[in-house]
Amino acid sequence: MTERLVVIGGDAAGMSAASQARRRRGPDDLEIVAFERGHFTSYSACGIPYWVGGLIDNQADLISRDPETFRTEHHIDVRLRHEVVAIDLDRREVVARAWDDGGREVRERFDQLVYAAGAVPITPDWARTDTAGIFGVQTLDDGASLLAWLEGEPRPRRAVVIGGGYIGVEMAEALIQRGLSVTLVERSPEPMSTVDPDMGALVRQALCGLGLDVRSGVTVTGLESRDGRVAAVHTDEGSLPADIVVLGLGVRPNTKLAAEAGLPLGLTGAIRVDLGMRVVGVPGVWAAGDCVESVHLVSGQMVHIPLGTHANKQGRVAGINIGGGYATFTGVVGTAVTRVCNLEVGRTGLRERDATAAGFEFVTAKVESTSRAGYFPGAEKMTVKLVAERHTGRLLGAQIVGRSEAAKRIDVLAVAVWNKMTVAEMANLDLGYAPPYSPVWDPVLVAARRAAAAVR
Protein backbone atom coordinates (compact mmCIF):
# COMPACT_ATOMS: atom_id res chain seq x y z
CA MET A 1 0.00 0.00 0.00
CA THR A 2 1.21 3.49 -0.78
CA GLU A 3 2.51 5.35 2.23
CA ARG A 4 1.98 9.05 2.62
CA LEU A 5 4.64 11.53 3.76
CA VAL A 6 3.52 14.99 4.83
CA VAL A 7 6.10 17.74 5.13
CA ILE A 8 5.45 20.92 7.12
CA GLY A 9 7.65 23.68 5.71
CA GLY A 10 8.89 24.03 2.15
CA ASP A 11 12.34 25.49 2.70
CA ALA A 12 15.77 23.85 3.01
CA ALA A 13 15.08 21.14 5.59
CA GLY A 14 11.60 20.14 4.44
CA MET A 15 12.35 20.01 0.75
CA SER A 16 15.68 18.24 1.25
CA ALA A 17 13.84 15.58 3.22
CA ALA A 18 11.17 15.29 0.55
CA SER A 19 13.68 15.09 -2.29
CA GLN A 20 15.86 12.50 -0.63
CA ALA A 21 12.88 10.34 0.29
CA ARG A 22 11.70 10.57 -3.30
CA ARG A 23 15.11 9.54 -4.68
CA ARG A 24 14.78 6.27 -2.83
CA ARG A 25 11.05 5.62 -3.13
CA GLY A 26 8.94 6.22 -6.22
CA PRO A 27 5.49 7.84 -6.27
CA ASP A 28 3.76 4.44 -6.24
CA ASP A 29 5.47 3.61 -2.98
CA LEU A 30 5.41 6.99 -1.26
CA GLU A 31 3.12 9.96 -1.82
CA ILE A 32 4.64 13.23 -0.70
CA VAL A 33 2.68 16.37 0.20
CA ALA A 34 4.55 19.50 1.33
CA PHE A 35 2.82 22.49 2.94
CA GLU A 36 4.51 25.89 2.78
CA ARG A 37 2.82 28.94 4.27
CA GLY A 38 4.76 31.43 2.09
CA HIS A 39 5.08 31.97 -1.64
CA PHE A 40 8.37 30.16 -2.20
CA THR A 41 10.22 26.89 -1.75
CA SER A 42 13.89 26.24 -1.09
CA TYR A 43 15.24 29.76 -1.05
CA SER A 44 18.38 31.30 0.36
CA ALA A 45 17.35 33.59 3.20
CA CYS A 46 21.08 34.18 3.75
CA GLY A 47 21.15 35.95 0.39
CA ILE A 48 18.57 38.59 1.31
CA PRO A 49 21.06 41.22 2.56
CA TYR A 50 22.96 40.98 -0.74
CA TRP A 51 19.72 41.36 -2.68
CA VAL A 52 18.78 44.42 -0.62
CA GLY A 53 22.31 45.81 -1.05
CA GLY A 54 22.08 45.45 -4.80
CA LEU A 55 24.79 42.80 -5.25
CA ILE A 56 22.17 40.38 -6.47
CA ASP A 57 19.58 41.66 -8.90
CA ASN A 58 16.71 39.26 -8.78
CA GLN A 59 14.68 37.62 -6.12
CA ALA A 60 14.56 34.60 -8.42
CA ASP A 61 18.33 34.15 -8.03
CA LEU A 62 17.75 33.25 -4.40
CA ILE A 63 15.41 30.38 -5.19
CA SER A 64 17.29 27.15 -5.68
CA ARG A 65 14.30 25.06 -6.77
CA ASP A 66 10.77 26.22 -7.49
CA PRO A 67 7.52 24.43 -6.69
CA GLU A 68 6.92 23.49 -10.32
CA THR A 69 10.22 21.60 -10.45
CA PHE A 70 9.32 19.71 -7.31
CA ARG A 71 5.89 18.86 -8.71
CA THR A 72 6.87 17.77 -12.17
CA GLU A 73 10.34 16.32 -11.70
CA HIS A 74 10.07 14.95 -8.19
CA HIS A 75 6.35 14.24 -7.97
CA ILE A 76 6.10 16.13 -4.75
CA ASP A 77 2.72 17.79 -4.19
CA VAL A 78 3.87 21.23 -3.02
CA ARG A 79 1.08 23.45 -1.67
CA LEU A 80 2.12 27.07 -1.30
CA ARG A 81 0.31 29.54 0.94
CA HIS A 82 -0.93 26.60 2.97
CA GLU A 83 -0.34 27.09 6.67
CA VAL A 84 -0.54 24.03 8.84
CA VAL A 85 -2.51 24.97 11.96
CA ALA A 86 -2.73 21.66 13.80
CA ILE A 87 -1.20 18.22 13.96
CA ASP A 88 -3.41 15.39 15.13
CA LEU A 89 -1.10 12.56 16.07
CA ASP A 90 -3.91 10.18 17.05
CA ARG A 91 -5.74 10.51 13.75
CA ARG A 92 -2.41 10.87 11.90
CA GLU A 93 -3.47 13.97 10.06
CA VAL A 94 -2.55 17.62 9.74
CA VAL A 95 -4.95 20.54 9.37
CA ALA A 96 -3.93 23.40 7.09
CA ARG A 97 -5.43 26.70 5.92
CA ALA A 98 -5.29 27.52 2.22
CA TRP A 99 -4.74 31.27 2.32
CA ASP A 100 -5.22 31.78 -1.40
CA ASP A 101 -8.57 30.09 -1.04
CA GLY A 102 -10.00 32.25 1.73
CA GLY A 103 -8.43 30.23 4.50
CA ARG A 104 -10.27 27.05 3.54
CA GLU A 105 -9.45 24.16 5.87
CA VAL A 106 -7.54 21.25 4.33
CA ARG A 107 -6.96 17.96 6.13
CA GLU A 108 -4.27 15.57 5.02
CA ARG A 109 -3.58 12.09 6.37
CA PHE A 110 0.04 11.01 6.93
CA ASP A 111 1.98 7.89 7.71
CA GLN A 112 5.25 9.78 8.06
CA LEU A 113 5.48 13.42 9.07
CA VAL A 114 8.44 15.77 8.69
CA TYR A 115 8.20 18.85 10.88
CA ALA A 116 10.36 21.53 9.31
CA ALA A 117 8.59 24.72 10.33
CA GLY A 118 11.83 26.63 10.80
CA ALA A 119 12.25 29.56 13.12
CA VAL A 120 10.46 32.80 13.84
CA PRO A 121 12.06 36.16 14.51
CA ILE A 122 12.45 37.21 18.11
CA THR A 123 10.12 40.19 18.47
CA PRO A 124 10.16 42.20 21.70
CA ASP A 125 6.90 43.70 22.94
CA TRP A 126 7.79 47.14 21.62
CA ALA A 127 8.11 45.70 18.12
CA ARG A 128 4.63 44.17 18.16
CA THR A 129 2.97 47.02 16.34
CA ASP A 130 1.31 47.69 13.03
CA THR A 131 3.46 50.75 12.44
CA ALA A 132 4.73 50.69 8.86
CA GLY A 133 8.45 50.66 8.05
CA ILE A 134 9.57 47.91 10.44
CA PHE A 135 11.05 44.85 8.81
CA GLY A 136 12.41 41.44 9.68
CA VAL A 137 14.76 39.66 7.30
CA GLN A 138 13.66 36.10 7.34
CA THR A 139 11.63 35.33 4.25
CA LEU A 140 11.79 36.44 0.64
CA ASP A 141 8.52 38.21 1.30
CA ASP A 142 10.28 40.22 4.02
CA GLY A 143 13.00 41.16 1.56
CA ALA A 144 10.50 42.22 -1.10
CA SER A 145 8.51 44.38 1.34
CA LEU A 146 11.67 46.05 2.59
CA LEU A 147 12.85 46.82 -0.93
CA ALA A 148 9.45 48.27 -1.82
CA TRP A 149 9.63 50.52 1.24
CA LEU A 150 13.13 51.67 0.32
CA GLU A 151 11.92 52.62 -3.14
CA GLY A 152 8.62 54.15 -2.01
CA GLU A 153 7.70 57.73 -1.13
CA PRO A 154 8.57 59.49 1.04
CA ARG A 155 11.98 57.96 0.32
CA PRO A 156 13.53 56.72 3.58
CA ARG A 157 16.91 58.27 4.36
CA ARG A 158 17.68 57.24 7.92
CA ALA A 159 17.78 53.59 8.92
CA VAL A 160 18.17 52.01 12.34
CA VAL A 161 19.20 48.38 12.45
CA ILE A 162 18.49 46.73 15.80
CA GLY A 163 20.78 43.81 16.61
CA GLY A 164 24.45 43.48 15.69
CA GLY A 165 24.58 39.79 14.77
CA TYR A 166 25.13 38.40 11.28
CA ILE A 167 21.87 39.62 9.82
CA GLY A 168 22.13 42.97 11.54
CA VAL A 169 25.60 43.84 10.30
CA GLU A 170 24.93 42.46 6.83
CA MET A 171 21.75 44.54 6.57
CA ALA A 172 23.48 47.63 7.93
CA GLU A 173 26.06 47.30 5.18
CA ALA A 174 23.38 46.71 2.54
CA LEU A 175 21.52 49.86 3.57
CA ILE A 176 24.70 51.92 3.46
CA GLN A 177 25.32 50.59 -0.03
CA ARG A 178 21.89 51.91 -0.94
CA GLY A 179 22.87 55.35 0.26
CA LEU A 180 21.02 55.50 3.56
CA SER A 181 22.45 56.90 6.74
CA VAL A 182 22.52 53.91 9.08
CA THR A 183 22.73 53.45 12.86
CA LEU A 184 23.33 49.99 14.29
CA VAL A 185 22.10 49.39 17.83
CA GLU A 186 23.48 46.43 19.78
CA ARG A 187 22.89 45.58 23.43
CA SER A 188 26.25 43.78 23.91
CA PRO A 189 29.48 45.70 24.47
CA GLU A 190 30.56 44.93 20.89
CA PRO A 191 28.68 44.00 17.74
CA MET A 192 28.96 40.46 16.38
CA SER A 193 28.70 38.82 19.75
CA THR A 194 29.10 35.46 18.04
CA VAL A 195 32.80 36.15 18.50
CA ASP A 196 34.57 37.26 21.68
CA PRO A 197 34.46 41.01 22.43
CA ASP A 198 38.14 41.50 21.52
CA MET A 199 37.42 40.17 18.05
CA GLY A 200 34.07 42.00 17.88
CA ALA A 201 35.98 45.23 18.45
CA LEU A 202 37.77 44.62 15.13
CA VAL A 203 34.38 44.33 13.46
CA ARG A 204 33.16 47.54 15.07
CA GLN A 205 36.18 49.40 13.76
CA ALA A 206 35.46 48.15 10.25
CA LEU A 207 31.81 49.12 10.50
CA CYS A 208 32.67 52.59 11.71
CA GLY A 209 35.22 52.96 8.93
CA LEU A 210 32.31 52.50 6.56
CA GLY A 211 30.49 55.50 7.99
CA LEU A 212 28.09 53.41 10.00
CA ASP A 213 27.03 54.78 13.38
CA VAL A 214 27.53 51.88 15.79
CA ARG A 215 25.85 52.15 19.21
CA SER A 216 26.88 49.14 21.25
CA GLY A 217 25.97 48.56 24.87
CA VAL A 218 22.65 50.24 24.09
CA THR A 219 19.17 48.84 24.76
CA VAL A 220 16.11 49.69 22.70
CA THR A 221 13.10 50.67 24.78
CA GLY A 222 10.47 51.51 22.19
CA LEU A 223 9.49 52.83 18.81
CA GLU A 224 7.84 56.08 17.85
CA SER A 225 5.50 56.47 14.90
CA ARG A 226 4.02 59.38 13.00
CA ASP A 227 1.00 58.98 10.72
CA GLY A 228 1.35 55.23 11.00
CA ARG A 229 4.96 55.26 9.82
CA VAL A 230 7.97 54.63 12.03
CA ALA A 231 9.69 57.86 13.05
CA ALA A 232 12.24 57.05 15.76
CA VAL A 233 13.79 54.35 17.92
CA HIS A 234 13.95 55.07 21.64
CA THR A 235 16.90 53.67 23.57
CA ASP A 236 18.27 53.91 27.08
CA GLU A 237 20.74 56.40 25.64
CA GLY A 238 18.40 58.67 23.74
CA SER A 239 16.27 58.67 20.64
CA LEU A 240 17.35 57.85 17.09
CA PRO A 241 15.33 59.23 14.16
CA ALA A 242 14.40 56.48 11.71
CA ASP A 243 12.49 56.24 8.44
CA ILE A 244 13.03 52.49 8.37
CA VAL A 245 13.81 49.98 11.13
CA VAL A 246 15.31 46.55 10.50
CA LEU A 247 15.08 43.91 13.21
CA GLY A 248 18.00 41.50 13.50
CA LEU A 249 17.40 40.20 16.98
CA GLY A 250 17.77 36.55 16.11
CA VAL A 251 15.21 33.81 15.86
CA ARG A 252 13.69 31.13 18.03
CA PRO A 253 12.50 27.70 16.93
CA ASN A 254 9.00 27.72 15.50
CA THR A 255 7.54 25.04 17.74
CA LYS A 256 4.03 26.24 18.53
CA LEU A 257 2.33 23.45 16.58
CA ALA A 258 4.86 20.90 17.74
CA ALA A 259 4.27 21.78 21.37
CA GLU A 260 0.50 21.66 20.94
CA ALA A 261 0.82 18.20 19.41
CA GLY A 262 3.00 17.06 22.28
CA LEU A 263 6.31 16.71 20.47
CA PRO A 264 9.17 16.84 23.00
CA LEU A 265 11.09 20.12 23.33
CA GLY A 266 14.55 20.41 24.86
CA LEU A 267 15.95 23.05 27.18
CA THR A 268 16.83 25.17 24.16
CA GLY A 269 13.13 25.31 23.28
CA ALA A 270 13.73 23.34 20.09
CA ILE A 271 12.54 19.87 19.17
CA ARG A 272 14.45 16.85 20.42
CA VAL A 273 15.48 14.40 17.73
CA ASP A 274 17.71 11.34 17.56
CA LEU A 275 20.73 11.00 15.26
CA GLY A 276 18.45 9.98 12.39
CA MET A 277 16.24 13.08 12.85
CA ARG A 278 13.37 11.06 14.38
CA VAL A 279 11.43 13.05 16.95
CA VAL A 280 12.30 11.34 20.21
CA GLY A 281 9.52 8.99 21.32
CA VAL A 282 7.07 9.79 18.53
CA PRO A 283 7.13 7.04 15.88
CA GLY A 284 6.78 8.15 12.28
CA VAL A 285 7.45 11.79 13.06
CA TRP A 286 10.68 13.49 12.00
CA ALA A 287 11.99 17.00 12.44
CA ALA A 288 14.80 18.95 10.82
CA GLY A 289 16.16 22.45 10.35
CA ASP A 290 15.80 25.60 12.39
CA CYS A 291 13.19 24.04 14.71
CA VAL A 292 15.40 21.27 16.17
CA GLU A 293 18.24 21.25 18.64
CA SER A 294 21.62 19.58 18.03
CA VAL A 295 24.41 18.37 20.22
CA HIS A 296 27.48 20.58 20.30
CA LEU A 297 30.41 18.23 19.86
CA VAL A 298 32.73 20.28 22.07
CA SER A 299 30.53 21.31 24.99
CA GLY A 300 28.41 18.18 24.94
CA GLN A 301 25.38 20.44 25.48
CA MET A 302 22.30 20.76 23.30
CA VAL A 303 22.28 23.93 21.20
CA HIS A 304 19.93 25.65 18.79
CA ILE A 305 21.91 26.93 15.81
CA PRO A 306 19.58 27.96 12.99
CA LEU A 307 21.68 27.83 9.81
CA GLY A 308 20.87 26.75 6.29
CA THR A 309 23.82 24.42 6.14
CA HIS A 310 22.55 22.37 9.08
CA ALA A 311 18.97 22.47 7.79
CA ASN A 312 20.06 21.02 4.47
CA LYS A 313 22.10 18.26 6.09
CA GLN A 314 19.38 17.37 8.59
CA GLY A 315 16.66 17.33 5.96
CA ARG A 316 18.79 15.09 3.81
CA VAL A 317 19.37 12.69 6.71
CA ALA A 318 15.65 12.51 7.51
CA GLY A 319 14.82 11.92 3.84
CA ILE A 320 17.39 9.16 3.41
CA ASN A 321 16.05 7.38 6.47
CA ILE A 322 12.42 7.79 5.41
CA GLY A 323 13.50 6.41 2.07
CA GLY A 324 14.82 3.29 3.73
CA GLY A 325 18.48 4.24 3.71
CA TYR A 326 20.75 5.01 6.64
CA ALA A 327 22.17 8.37 7.57
CA THR A 328 22.89 10.30 10.76
CA PHE A 329 23.43 13.91 11.73
CA THR A 330 25.99 13.65 14.46
CA GLY A 331 26.19 17.20 15.74
CA VAL A 332 27.70 20.62 15.22
CA VAL A 333 30.79 22.51 16.28
CA GLY A 334 29.33 25.97 15.81
CA THR A 335 31.05 27.09 12.65
CA ALA A 336 29.86 30.32 11.06
CA VAL A 337 31.29 32.84 8.62
CA THR A 338 30.20 36.23 7.41
CA ARG A 339 31.38 39.18 5.38
CA VAL A 340 30.98 42.68 6.79
CA CYS A 341 32.30 45.69 4.93
CA ASN A 342 34.95 43.60 3.22
CA LEU A 343 35.93 42.26 6.60
CA GLU A 344 35.72 38.49 6.81
CA VAL A 345 34.70 36.94 10.09
CA GLY A 346 34.78 33.25 10.93
CA ARG A 347 34.23 31.29 14.10
CA THR A 348 34.03 27.68 15.19
CA GLY A 349 33.78 25.79 18.46
CA LEU A 350 33.50 27.63 21.76
CA ARG A 351 34.05 31.29 22.55
CA GLU A 352 35.62 32.09 25.92
CA ARG A 353 32.24 32.47 27.59
CA ASP A 354 31.02 29.18 26.07
CA ALA A 355 34.11 27.35 27.28
CA THR A 356 33.55 28.67 30.78
CA ALA A 357 29.87 27.77 30.67
CA ALA A 358 30.73 24.26 29.52
CA GLY A 359 33.10 23.82 32.46
CA PHE A 360 36.41 24.01 30.63
CA GLU A 361 39.56 25.65 31.91
CA PHE A 362 41.33 27.18 28.97
CA VAL A 363 44.07 29.38 27.58
CA THR A 364 43.80 31.70 24.61
CA ALA A 365 46.25 32.76 21.95
CA LYS A 366 45.82 35.57 19.47
CA VAL A 367 48.16 36.25 16.57
CA GLU A 368 48.34 38.65 13.67
CA SER A 369 49.57 37.30 10.39
CA THR A 370 48.87 37.77 6.71
CA SER A 371 46.69 36.01 4.18
CA ARG A 372 49.56 35.54 1.72
CA ALA A 373 53.33 35.68 1.86
CA GLY A 374 54.09 39.12 3.24
CA TYR A 375 55.80 40.20 0.03
CA PHE A 376 53.03 38.94 -2.27
CA PRO A 377 50.63 41.46 -3.81
CA GLY A 378 47.28 41.44 -2.05
CA ALA A 379 48.59 40.13 1.27
CA GLU A 380 46.18 41.33 3.97
CA LYS A 381 46.31 41.33 7.74
CA MET A 382 44.53 38.54 9.56
CA THR A 383 43.87 38.00 13.26
CA VAL A 384 43.46 34.44 14.51
CA LYS A 385 42.38 33.61 18.05
CA LEU A 386 42.37 30.12 19.53
CA VAL A 387 40.82 28.79 22.71
CA ALA A 388 42.47 25.59 23.99
CA GLU A 389 41.83 23.45 27.03
CA ARG A 390 44.34 23.98 29.81
CA HIS A 391 46.62 20.97 30.42
CA THR A 392 45.39 18.82 27.51
CA GLY A 393 45.80 21.49 24.83
CA ARG A 394 42.66 20.34 23.03
CA LEU A 395 41.41 22.98 20.60
CA LEU A 396 38.05 24.20 21.90
CA GLY A 397 37.34 27.06 19.52
CA ALA A 398 38.72 29.55 17.07
CA GLN A 399 37.89 32.93 15.59
CA ILE A 400 39.33 34.72 12.58
CA VAL A 401 38.93 38.30 11.40
CA GLY A 402 40.69 39.51 8.27
CA ARG A 403 40.41 41.47 5.06
CA SER A 404 40.58 38.61 2.60
CA GLU A 405 41.01 34.85 2.42
CA ALA A 406 40.26 34.80 6.13
CA ALA A 407 36.76 33.47 6.74
CA LYS A 408 37.08 30.07 5.10
CA ARG A 409 40.33 29.38 6.93
CA ILE A 410 37.99 28.71 9.84
CA ASP A 411 37.13 25.42 8.12
CA VAL A 412 40.61 24.10 8.83
CA LEU A 413 40.04 24.86 12.49
CA ALA A 414 36.51 23.44 12.37
CA VAL A 415 37.89 20.10 11.18
CA ALA A 416 40.56 20.25 13.89
CA VAL A 417 37.90 20.94 16.54
CA TRP A 418 35.75 18.14 15.12
CA ASN A 419 38.66 15.71 15.47
CA LYS A 420 39.57 16.84 18.99
CA MET A 421 43.07 17.82 17.91
CA THR A 422 45.49 19.43 20.33
CA VAL A 423 47.10 22.72 19.41
CA ALA A 424 50.52 21.08 19.70
CA GLU A 425 49.63 18.50 17.06
CA MET A 426 48.05 21.20 14.91
CA ALA A 427 51.35 23.08 14.74
CA ASN A 428 52.60 20.15 12.63
CA LEU A 429 49.65 20.12 10.23
CA ASP A 430 50.61 19.77 6.59
CA LEU A 431 48.73 22.76 5.14
CA GLY A 432 49.16 24.07 1.62
CA TYR A 433 51.87 26.65 1.12
CA ALA A 434 52.58 28.83 -1.89
CA PRO A 435 53.22 32.59 -1.83
CA PRO A 436 49.84 33.58 -3.37
CA TYR A 437 47.97 31.68 -0.68
CA SER A 438 49.85 31.77 2.57
CA PRO A 439 52.99 32.76 4.40
CA VAL A 440 55.32 29.78 4.80
CA TRP A 441 53.80 29.46 8.27
CA ASP A 442 50.07 29.68 7.67
CA PRO A 443 48.31 31.97 10.20
CA VAL A 444 46.53 28.88 11.55
CA LEU A 445 49.88 27.25 12.30
CA VAL A 446 51.29 30.38 13.90
CA ALA A 447 48.25 30.52 16.18
CA ALA A 448 48.58 26.83 17.02
CA ARG A 449 52.23 27.32 17.98
CA ARG A 450 51.35 30.26 20.18
CA ALA A 451 48.53 28.35 21.85
CA ALA A 452 50.71 25.30 22.39
CA ALA A 453 53.23 27.50 24.18
CA ALA A 454 50.42 28.94 26.35
CA VAL A 455 49.14 25.50 27.31
CA ARG A 456 52.49 24.32 28.63
The window from 2-10, 141-149, 217-225, 423-431 that contacts its own copies (CB under 8 A) reads 423-431
User: Could you say whether residue 332 binds its own copies (CB under 8 A)?
Assistant: yes
341 an active-site residue?
Answer: no
**Contact string 380-419 vs its own copies (x = CB under 8 A):** -------------------------x-xxxxxx-xxx-xx
Three-class HEC string of the chain = CCEEEEEECCCHHHHHHHHHHHHHCCCCCEEEEEECCCCCCCECHHHHHHHHHCCCCCHHHHECCCHHHHHHHHCCEEECCEEEEEEECCCCEEEEEEHHHCCEEEEEECCEEEECCCEEECCCHHHCCCCECEECCCCHHHHHHHHHHHHCCCCCCEEEEECCCHHHHHHHHHHHHCCCEEEEEECCCCCCCCCCHHHHHHHHHHHHHCCCEEEECCCEEEEEEECCEEEEEEECCEEEECCEEEECCCEEECCHHHHHHCCCECCCCCECECCCCEECCCCCEEECCCCECEEECCCCCEECCCCHHHHHHHHHHHHHHHCCCCCCCCCECCCEEEEECCEEEEEEECCHHHHHHHCCCEEEEEEEEECCCCCCCCCCEEEEEEEEECCCCEEEEEEEEECCCCHHHHHHHHHHHHCCCEHHHHCCCCCCCCCCCCCCCCHHHHHHHHHHHHHC
234 binds its own copies (CB under 8 A): no
Q: In the complex, what is the shortest distance from the CB of residue 43 to its own copies, in angstroms, rounded to a whole number? A: 10
Nearer to its own copies, 230 or 336 (CB): 336
333-362 residues in contact with its own copies (CB under 8 A) are 333-339, 344, 346, 348
Q: x/- site string to its own copies, residues 164 to 193, per CB under 8 A?
A: --x---------------------------
Q: Which of 21, 243, 442, 446 binds its own copies (CB under 8 A)?
A: 442
Least Å from the CB of residue 284 to its own copies = 24
Task: Answer yes or no whether residue 437 interacts with its own copies by CB under 8 A.
Answer: yes
Member of 2, 221, 239, 309 binding its own copies (CB under 8 A): 309
**Of 242 and 379, CB closest to its own copies:** 379
Name which of 133 and 168 has its Cβ closer to its own copies: 168
Shortest distance in whole angstroms from residue 176 CB to its own copies: 17
Binding test (CB under 8 A) with its own copies, winner from 2, 26, 27, 61: 61
**Binding its own copies by CB under 8 A: which of 28, 125, 227, 375?**
375
54 interacts with its own copies by CB under 8 A: no
Residues binding its own copies (CB under 8 A): 12, 44, 46-47, 50, 55-56, 61-62, 64, 166, 307-310, 312-313, 328-330, 332-339, 344, 346, 348, 373, 375-377, 405, 407-412, 414-416, 418-419, 421, 425, 427-438, 440-442, 444
Q: Kindly list the catalytic residues.
A: 46
